[in-house]
Amino acid sequence: MKLKEAHNEFIGAWGSLGSSWGVNRTMAQIHALLLVSIEPLSAEDIMEKLNISRGNVNMNVRTLIDWGLADKRFVTGERKEFFVAGKDVWGMAKQVARERKKRELEPLQRTLEKLKLDKVNTPEEKEFQSLVKELGQFADSADGLLGKFINSKKNWIFKLASKL
């Protein structure tokens, strides 16, 4: 396989995986393009290579920057903005976990905390309270595990998995 074909295959596959991260396909494709590029890319470069609109590029690049997965770079002599993605796969995985925790798990925990009933008398109230409590315990365990992963050294999860 030639490099250009491999890049295109990677960009397509990364785009498909995007929904598993909770991001849209185009955002993941832009991220993949930035990952495989050795030079910073402008919005025009991204538009051309992925055949997408300027608005789509701008919106998704801003989101990648918000997620901590891309950065803006200035190129001497250029007026355009250029973008790059970090190449550290472990750091990227930790950053995605950090964002998913912030955007999904923490709001769930806050919601479950609000759902505690004042009185628990009826069977329905008891069942509901039990469900909320169990979900809260699960969310707290997931939060602890994600926290350990986010704060871990590179091979922590593999060492843990090998002990299982």
Share of the chain above pLDDT 70, in %: 94
68 with 99: CB under 8 angstroms? yes
In whole angstroms, what is the distance from residue 30 CA to residue 6 CA? Answer: 15
Q: What tokens were used for 98?
A: 């950090």
Query: Which position has the token pair 């912030």?
Result: 102
Q: Give pTM, 2 decimals.
A: 0.80
pLDDT in tens, 44-66: 999 999 999 999 999 999 999 99
pLDDT of residue 161: 65
Q: What's the average pLDDT block by block, 10 residues per block, for the chain (164 residues)?
A: 94 87 88 96 97 96 95 91 93 89 94 90 94 95 91 71 66
